[in-house]
Amino acid sequence: RVVYVNGRYVPYRDASVHVEDRGFQFADGVYEVCEVRNGRIIDESRHLARMRRSLKELSISFPMADAALRLVMGETLRRNRVRNGLVYLQVTRGAAKREFTFPDPDAVAPTLVVIARSVDPAIGEAVAQAGIRIVSVPENRWARVDIKTIGLLPNVLAKMAAKTAGAREAWFVDRDGFVTEGGSSNAWIIVGDALVTRHAEHGILRGVTRTTLLDLIAIEGLRFEERQFTIDEAKTAREAFVTSATTILTPVVQIDDTPVGDGKPGDIVLRLRQRFHDIAEWRSL
């Protein structure tokens, strides 16, 4: 296995960045994860556009043009013979003597790391067919979760709490009882015949999978409500599910101690999951 680090493809076990990298010291960086399926990178354009936005919001310079980055992503996947799995991109502000304020961007270049990994799609499919359990946790993150930063400690702790409780994902719930999103996914419910998810302007990451699912919902002429919902409403919803690049659409069958619907994966979410890749953008490796 090889990974791309700052202009070079290096063996996985030898790959490293500087101890004074600002990603390491301050979580001063951003990341993206794209799904790879049947030798295709899914929704790459939207992921790159979001990374560009995250970097802009943090005044980190873009390490290379999109076209060059696409080449590096493709090459990293090919060199690792990944046909199904994911490609992870991380950009930090770079390595500099530890100081809170930014180093001179003319003197310090951002650090770019690209890692490709094979994942058997049968695993995610089995999880989706079984459905996942959710635990609710208090929202304790900063107000800029719209930026996809590598500062993920609250998410790590939330997902660890979920795992300890035998659940696969945690949903953050704000002080008013409204669900914001998952530890690494967006949260959805189906009420009556309407798909419901929170507006992306506040309190969540604008998921690429969420955006592409909105395209599918429009194509299918399904009812959609962009609004916040409480954890109590979610527990009485007809169906619930999560979206992310690595889980696509995955049904939720239990929230805390309450089964969702009949406690089995919902028909609507499973059908939309099957349709998702028919409409998502892709590029062949």
Q: Is 186 in the site for ligand PMP (CB under 6 A)?
A: yes
Return the residue of 243, 250, 255, 272 that touches ligand PMP, per CB under 6 A. 243
Return the residue of 196, 205, 269, 280 that touches ligand PMP, per CB under 6 A. 205
Q: Which residues pair with 2 in a beta bridge?
A: 11
Q: Which of 76, 1, 71, 82 is nearest to 38 (CA)?
A: 82
Return the residue of 154, 207, 251, 261 that touches ligand PMP, per CB under 6 A. 207
By CB under 6 A, what part of segment 125-164 binds ligand PMP?
none
Query: What is the β-pairing status of strands 223-226 and 194-197?
Result: parallel
SS3 248: strand
Return the residue of 76, 80, 185, 197 that touches ligand PMP, per CB under 6 A. 185
Return the residue of 244, 249, 265, 270 that touches ligand PMP, per CB under 6 A. 244
- Per rule CB under 6 A, count of chain residues that contact ligand PMP: 13
**R_g of the chain, CA atoms, integer Å:** 19
Q: Distance (Å, rounded) from C-alpha 211 to C-alpha 114?
A: 24
Q: Is 254 in the site for ligand PMP (CB under 6 A)?
A: no
CA atoms within 13 A on the CB side of 234: 34
Say whether 148 is catalytic.
yes
- Residue closer to ligand PMP by CB (options 3, 245) is 245
Q: Which stretch binds ligand PMP (CB under 6 A): 162-170, 226-234, 237-245, 254-262?
A: 237-245
State residue 131 phi and psi, 5-degree precision.
85, 160
Long-range Cβ contact pairs of 68-72 (< 8 A, separation 24 or more): 70/44, 70/283, 72/4, 72/112, 72/114
Return the residue of 208, 237, 252, 280 that touches ligand PMP, per CB under 6 A. 208
**Which two structure tokens, joined as six digits, stand for 7?**
């202009």
CA 118 from centre of chain:
17
Q: Which stretch binds ligand PMP (CB under 6 A): 119-127, 128-136, 178-186, 269-277?
A: 178-186
Q: Is 184 in the site for ligand PMP (CB under 6 A)?
A: yes
Binding mask 29-58 for ligand PMP (x = CB under 6 A): ----x-------------------------
Max Cα separation, the chain?
A: 59
SS3 28: coil
Amino acid identity, position 226: E
Q: Distance (Å, rounded) from C-alpha 34 to C-alpha 114?
A: 11
Q: Which stretch binds ligand PMP (CB under 6 A): 67-75, 85-93, 183-191, 267-275?
A: 183-191
Q: Is 245 in the site for ligand PMP (CB under 6 A)?
A: yes
Return the residue of 21, 28, 169, 181 that touches ligand PMP, per CB under 6 A. 181
**Which two structure tokens, joined as six digits, stand for 37?**
């399926």
Q: How far is the CB of 146 from ligand PMP (least distance, A)?
A: 10
- Residue closer to ligand PMP by CB (options 136, 209) is 209
SS3 60: coil
- Residue closer to ligand PMP by CB (options 111, 186) is 186
CA atoms within 13 A on the CB side of 224: 16
- Region of 7 (left: φ > 0; alpha: ψ -120 to 50; beta: rest) is left
- Spot the catalytic one: 97, 148, 163, 264: 148
Which residues form the catalytic set?
148
Residues interacting with ligand PMP, by CB under 6 A? 33, 181, 184-186, 205, 207-210, 243-245
